[in-house]
Amino acid sequence: MGSRVLSVRVDGELLERIRQHAAKRGMSVQDYVVRTLIRDDFDERFQSSVDETERFYEAPPL
């Protein structure tokens, strides 16, 4: 899996908040943003799996 470039325009205030969050974790802004995106993607996929499992095991209507 190769890497690609993604350019995102954010305002100065948001970038400063992202920098602060990244610094608290000893991370670069790039690493912090990528990790956040990966975590959000995982959360969505996990929730979809849970929903699908619940539908699968639902009792059929009487």
pLDDT digits (tens, 9 = 90+) for 30-54: 999 989 988 887 788 888 888 888 8
Q: Is 22 in contact with 28 (CB distance < 8 Å)?
A: yes
- What's this model's pTM, rounded to 2 decimal places? 0.65
**Euclidean distance between CA atoms 39 and 18, whole angstroms:** 16
Q: Which two tokens stand for residue 58?
A: 């639902």
**Model confidence pLDDT, tens digit, residues 3-23:** 888 888 999 999 999 999 999
- 10 contacts: CB under 8 Å, gap ≥ 6: 18
